[in-house]
Every structure is written in C-alpha cells, then in structure tokens.
C-alpha cells in the first residue's frame, strides 16, 4: 500500500467525520435563513453552473501542474465554502458557500479518484476504492448522531442550532488540509500547455463514443441526485415530521450500511465485472425511495437510510469504471472535460426539483428521479464496455 493511499484514507476519514456533521442540514439551514424551496432550487442550479468552470479546471491542472497542486486548491475551496456557511447571517452568504461547496466537491472528488487509481492495481482497484470508502465512513459512522446532540443542546433544529456544526467542521478541515500539504507526494504532471491539454481532452471525447456515453450517464446521474437530494432533509422535517435524532439515526444507518457493503461490493466488482455489479445494486436505490415516500412514521426513515447506504456502497465501482475508461496520462483532462460538460448540462436539475417540490407536490422530485434512473440511465450503464480485464480501446 503506497504512502499516498494511507494519506488519502486519513484525509477521507477525518474529513468524512466533519463533513457528516453538517452535510444533512445544509439545505434546511439555507431555507431557515429565509429562502423558499423553489428559489433554493433555482440558486443551486446557478451555483452549479458557475462552479462547472472552476471544478473542471482542477482536472486539467492535475495533468499539467500535478495532482497534489490541484488537490490542495480543491481543499482550500472546501474550507472557504464552510467559512461562508459558518458566518452566514442571511441566505445570500449561503449561496456563495454553496457555489464553493459544489466546486470543491466535484473538483476534489475527481483529483482524489485519480490519486486512488494511481495507488492501486487494476486487479484490486474496485476493492481499493471500496476499502477506502468503508474505512473513511467508519470514522464518521456516529457523526449524524453527534450532530443531533449538538443541535439539541443548542436549541433544536434552527439556524442557531445548526451553525455550530460548521464551526467544528471548519477546524477539522483546516487540520486535514495542513497534513496533506505537508506529506502528500506528487504522482504525475505532464508539463504540457493549457491550450494543448484542453484541446486534447475534446479530441479524446470526440473520438471515443463510450466516453460520450459515460458523460451522458454522469449527467443523468446529476439529474437523479439534484432533482431530489437537496430536498430530502427538508422533506423529512416538513412532511415526515422528523426531529434531529431521527435525522441522526438515519445518517448513522446509512453509514453503517456503507461500511458493511463497500468492500463486499468492491470485491464483487473485481470478480464479476464493474458494469454488472453497478447495475445490480441500483435496486437498493429504488427500494430506499419507496420506503422514504411511504414511511408511515418518522422511525421508518432509519430503514430508508440503511437501504440508501447499500446503494451508496456501490459508488466505488462507479468511480473505478470512470478511471479505467482512459489511460493514466489522460485521467486529469478526462475528469476536467467530463466535469465541464456534465455540470453545465445538469445545472437546471435543482431548479426543476425545487419547482416540482414547491408547485406540484413534495413527492414529485423523488419519483421523477427514480423514473429517470430506471428507464434512461440504467440501460445506458448496461451498454457500457467492461473495464475489469483490459483498458477500453
């Protein structure tokens, strides 16, 4: 196991703990600061569009100037996003934090996946992704419950009750960033010009039909996620009448399922193929949404969290496919061009989700997300080439 892999486990573990303190409450927090759900969706779409250019540039930077430099930029953007949330006294400050949060999420995810892929062999890569996911979630397993107790001690679900979570998260993320700056090793840099790298990225995608198809898969995934997930906690509180402890136990159940199933699903991906494994475990997404919508009492939401966690545990297989569709030297620019296209294309999704939630019914975004995934995205996943045994030519 390479030193970088150990550092990535460390970073993901601590940042996972701190991120999980506040992640469930971000959109509820913004709504409580005075914006309605429809406008929340609109402004999240604008934030997603604006973030597409910066987050995609991190992929190109990782190829040209090095993985570590791009990674550090992403970490600093993540810290800045939490500063805006922590000290926001109206929803406009939160929108700046939201734009930076989306930027750092996709930018960091891309560069981090490249670093993980370059620290593992093809034969054990899906397991490597699954293991790091499982180990990092282990440290954050009780974060949602800790958050619930903090909120309860600070007055319950309110802006003042949620705000301390951002203060704690800020301190933790600063610490992990300092460690990465000091100890992470550089793995690759091409030294090529920015113009050449960007044009080369467009050339690669233009020539490879399966890359175009995968960008469509990820774009549709953005619609599945952005149509529904920003409004999940809002729905739990407003419609299902969940309190901070139900939200906390739901997050904990999700984490437990992810820990238990991530290495297992990774092993299945290494044995039976990435595509089959990824497609099979989508059924847990559909089951989780059914439980979420038809839960007769708030306690059933904990079961929803567990099934959603099993589905989330298949994410490492998804990340493995993404990395294996191109050779090592093209991973940065592949992530850059992919993020640029998909983030622009998916940017209307949150606006659509907020509109459906506010003007039709709160259940509509979640039902729409399932239909898009089941009837459009899943067939596309089945049609992708298998990357387990060889690079796609």
**What's this model's pTM, rounded to 2 decimal places?**
0.84
> Tokens 């998909």 map to which residue?
342
pLDDT (0 to 100) of residue 304: 97
pLDDT (0 to 100) of residue 391: 54
Separation CA 120–CA 107 (nearest Å): 21
Contact 342, 36 (CB under 8 A): no
What secondary structure letter does DSSP report for 386?
P
| Domain extents in the chain | 10-382
pLDDT (0 to 100) of residue 234: 96
pLDDT (0 to 100) of residue 320: 87
Contact 22, 75 (CB under 8 A): no
pLDDT (0 to 100) of residue 51: 85
Q: What is the Cβ-side half-sphere exposure of residue 356, based on CA atoms within 13 angstroms? A: 19
pLDDT digits (tens, 9 = 90+) for 237-272: 999 999 999 999 999 999 999 888 988 898 898 888
Terminal CA-CA length for the chain: 29
User: Which tokens go with 241?
Assistant: 């009448």
Separation CA 385–CA 132 (nearest Å): 25
User: Which tokens go with 217?
Assistant: 């898969």
Nearest to 324 by CA among 79, 148, 90, 114: 114
Kindly list the distances between the CA atom of residue 81 and the CA atoms of 73, 98, 145, in Å, as whole numbers in the listed order. 13, 7, 23
Q: Is 387 helix (H, G, I), strand (E, B) or coil?
A: coil
Separation CA 393–CA 384 (nearest Å): 13
pLDDT (0 to 100) of residue 1: 47
pLDDT (0 to 100) of residue 181: 93
pLDDT (0 to 100) of residue 105: 87
Domain 10-382 has CATH 1.20.1250.20: yes
From first to last of the 393 residues of the chain, give the pLDDT tens digit.
478 888 998 998 899 899 999 999 999 999 999 999 999 999 999 988 888 888 888 888 888 888 999 999 999 999 999 999 999 988 888 888 999 999 898 888 889 988 988 888 777 787 888 788 777 888 888 899 999 999 999 999 999 999 999 999 999 999 999 999 999 988 776 677 778 888 888 898 998 888 999 999 999 999 999 999 999 999 999 999 999 999 999 999 999 998 889 888 988 988 888 999 999 999 999 999 999 999 999 999 999 999 999 999 998 899 889 888 988 788 888 988 998 999 999 999 999 999 999 999 999 999 999 999 999 999 999 999 888 765 555
Residues shown for the chain: 393
Separation CA 18–CA 168 (nearest Å): 7
Nearest to 284 by CA among 370, 385, 350: 370
């Amino acid at each position: 196991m390479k030193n970088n892999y150990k550092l990535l486990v460390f970073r993901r573990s601590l940042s996972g703990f701190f991120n999980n303190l506040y992640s469930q409450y971000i959109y509820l927090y913004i709504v409580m600061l005075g914006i309605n759900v429809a406008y929340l969706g609109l402004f999240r779409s604008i934030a997603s569009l604006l973030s597409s250019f910066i987050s995609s540039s991190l992929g190109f930077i990782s190829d040209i100037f090095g993985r570590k430099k791009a990674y550090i930029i992403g970490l600093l953007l993540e810290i800045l996003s939490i500063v805006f949330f922590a000290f926001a006294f109206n929803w406009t400050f939160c929108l700046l934090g939201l734009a930076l949060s989306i930027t750092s999420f996709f930018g960091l995810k891309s560069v981090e996946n490249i670093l993980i892929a370059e620290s593992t062999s093809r034969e054990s890569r899906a397991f490597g992704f699954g293991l790091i996911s499982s180990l990092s979630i282990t440290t954050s397993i009780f974060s949602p419950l800790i958050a619930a107790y903090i909120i309860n001690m600070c007055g319950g679900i309110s802006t003042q009750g949620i705000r301390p979570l951002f203060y704690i998260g800020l301190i933790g993320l600063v610490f992990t960033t300092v460690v990465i700056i000091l100890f992470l090793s550089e793995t690759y840099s091409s030294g090529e010009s920015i113009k050449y790298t960007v044009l080369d990225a467009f050339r690669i995608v233009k020539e490879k039909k399966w890359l175009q198809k995968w960008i469509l898969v990820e774009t549709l995934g953005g619609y599945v996620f952005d149509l529904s997930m920003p409004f999940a906690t809002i729905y739990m509180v407003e419609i299902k009448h969940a309190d901070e402890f139900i939200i906390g136990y739901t997050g904990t159940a999700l984490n437990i399922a992810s820990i238990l199933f991530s290495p297992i699903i990774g092993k299945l991906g290494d044995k039976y193929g990435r595509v089959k494994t990824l497609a099979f475990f989508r059924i847990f997404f559909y089951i989780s949404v059914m439980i979420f919508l038809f839960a007769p009492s708030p306690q059933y939401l904990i079961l929803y969290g567990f099934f959603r966690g099993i589905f989330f545990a298949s994410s490492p297989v998804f990340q493995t496919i993404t990395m294996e569709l191109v050779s090592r030297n093209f991973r940065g620019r592949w992530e850059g061009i992919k993020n640029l296209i998909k983030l622009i294309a998916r940017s209307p999704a949150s606006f659509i989700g907020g509109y459906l939630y506010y003007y039709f019914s709160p259940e509509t975004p979640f039902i729409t997300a399932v239909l898009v995934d089941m009837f459009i995205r899943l067939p596309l996943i089945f049609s992708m080439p298998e990357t387990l045994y060889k690079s796609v030519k």
